[in-house]
């Protein structure tokens, strides 16, 4: 079974800016940079632009290809922040990283790998300003549904976009969501509705990435079903992003109640990669990158 997965080259490429990035042999690692006091795993650790910038650079050194900059927590019980506060948190980090990406030879990074900047926001103004400052990707956890101006912003700026599936209200999605009869089918259908809206506005299909939204208004069983079914989303023709890093549903699995969730997160990333995910979104970049490199070694050396 492992050999079948490794030989199948299932993952789909994603166009970021003008670059069409192949991911069939090695998924991209997206490193999480939370410029927040209250994110569920690392809130407050990098809660200033300078600290967030230094953390972002460390993630690049660990192997991240994409940095996902977020200024508003979506954890259960979180409160929305104002547009201006989110701009103040996110924009200095985006601007500093954009300057670094243009002079990558100054980064202690073997091979001077090119990297890309994503902004994790549901606010069109934050997304638009971040794109103006040099971001490449808009990662919207509401799949462009919370701000009516977001679809137009994606189209107008030429951004690549991640459409994350979510049910329920912001900060209360684990309490307010409508249960699923068939989680894989319903998530696919709801994401494709949003995909079609963007395509109708002129967004290039190759720039759209879909995320089934592990942990966003879903039960532990729903999350497990989605993790087991990553390949089901490939039939829609869009690259898939999986973000399961350190999420609370892991602690609801038998025997993992007291886990720090690192090893299960790495395992989940491997499962996602084998299922055909093109991007793995994680807090722990080094561990994720090494696991992916190991999978690539298995493919390259023909050991399975």
* Residues designated catalytic: 247, 281
CA atoms within 13 A on the CB side of 33: 33
CA atoms within 13 A on the CB side of 45: 12
What is residue 46's three-state secondary structure? Answer: coil
What is residue 279's three-state secondary structure? Answer: strand
What is residue 69's three-state secondary structure? Answer: strand
Which phi and psi angles does 139 have, rounded to 5°? Answer: -110, 100
Beta bridge partners of 29: 280
How many other CB atoms sit within 10 Å of the CB of residue 233? 26
How many angstroms separate the CA atoms of 73 and 209, rounded?
21
What is residue 294's three-state secondary structure? Answer: helix
Q: In which region does residue 166 sit, left (phi positive, over 0), alpha (psi from -120 to 50) or beta (all else)?
A: beta
The set of residues, in sequence order, having a beta carbon less than 8 Å from that of 137 and lying 6+ positions away, is 16, 66, 68, 116, 117, 118, 119, 159, 160, 161, 162
The set of residues, in sequence order, having a beta carbon less than 8 Å from that of 267 and lying 6+ positions away, is none
DSSP string, 157-184: HT-EEEEE---S-TT-HHHHPPPPSSHH
């Amino acid at each position: 079974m492992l050999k079948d997965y490794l030989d199948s080259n299932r993952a789909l490429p994603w166009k970021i800016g003008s670059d069409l990035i192949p991911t069939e042999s090695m998924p991209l690692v997206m490193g999480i940079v939370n410029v927040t006091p209250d994110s569920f795993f690392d809130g407050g650790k990098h809660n200033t632009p300078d600290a967030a910038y230094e953390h972002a650079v460390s993630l690049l050194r660990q192997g991240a290809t994409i940095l996902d900059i977020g200024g508003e927590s979506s954890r259960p019980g979180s409160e929305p922040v104002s547009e201006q506060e989110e701009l103040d948190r996110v924009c200095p980090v985006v601007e500093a990283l954009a300057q670094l990406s243009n002079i990558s030879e100054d980064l202690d990074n073997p091979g001077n790998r090119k990297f890309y900047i994503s902004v994790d926001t549901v606010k069109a103004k934050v997304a638009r300003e971040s794109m103006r400052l040099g971001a490449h990707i808009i990662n919207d956890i509401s799949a462009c549904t919370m701000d009516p101006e977001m679809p137009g912003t994606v189209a107008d700026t030429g951004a690549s976009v991640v459409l994350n599936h979510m049910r329920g209200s912001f900060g209360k999605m684990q309490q307010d969501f409508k249960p699923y009869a068939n989680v894989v089918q319903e998530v696919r259908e709801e994401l494709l509705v949003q995909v079609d809206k963007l395509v109708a506005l002129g967004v290039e299909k190759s720039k759209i990435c879909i995320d089934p939204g592990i942990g966003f208004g879903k039960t532990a069983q729903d999350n497990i079903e989605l993790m087991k079914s990553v390949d089901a989303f490939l039939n829609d023709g869009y690259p898939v992003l999986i973000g399961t890093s350190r999420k609370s549903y892991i602690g609801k699995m038998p025997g993992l109640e007291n886990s720090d969730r690192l090893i299960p997160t790495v395992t989940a990333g491997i499962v996602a990669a084998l299922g055909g995910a093109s991007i793995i979104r994680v807090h722990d970049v080094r561990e994720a990158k090494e696991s992916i490199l190991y999978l690539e070694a298995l493919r390259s050396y023909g050991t399975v």
